[in-house]
Structure 1
Amino acid sequence: PGVWRIASRPATVPWQPVTVLGLNDETARVTGPLKPGEPIVALGAHLLHQGEAVRLAERREHNAAGSQP
């Protein structure tokens, strides 16, 4: 398992392996070399390829359950 991270500008998507700690209908708890608050792809991940350029949607503030400041 892993996630697509959003890396700098221009925005590209490197693959980041993670370990899934838990899942529910709305959230996933993972562990790995991600920083709290680091942006990841939430929708359309199945369409991406390593290092592909992406366009970012407008940012919405969201405090994930269990995240640390």
Structure 2
Amino acid sequence: GKKVLLLFTQGQRDTDMFRHYFEHVGKNMQFMGFGDYRILVAGGTHQPEQVLCQKDVIEQAEDMGKWLCE
């Protein structure tokens, strides 16, 4: 199946707080026939520009984009 990249933003800074839900979404995508999935969460975001201030999230997004293209 096709790879899936799940990207989530949330106001909560603790990016593990809703991880169980994000994993559930990924497993449902596999159940529907999609392949491997990766999850990226940008915590503490209330405005779109706040994602750009999170250098580690941007780096992870770039790495995951490369993974999608492999």
Q: TM-score, normalised by structure 2?
A: 0.25
Q: Which structure carries more helix by proportion? A: 2
Whose Rg is larger?
2
Q: TM-score, normalised by structure 1?
A: 0.25
Q: Which structure carries more strand by proportion? A: 1
> Which protein, 1 or 2, shows the higher relative CO under an 8 Å CA cutoff with sep ≥ 6?
2
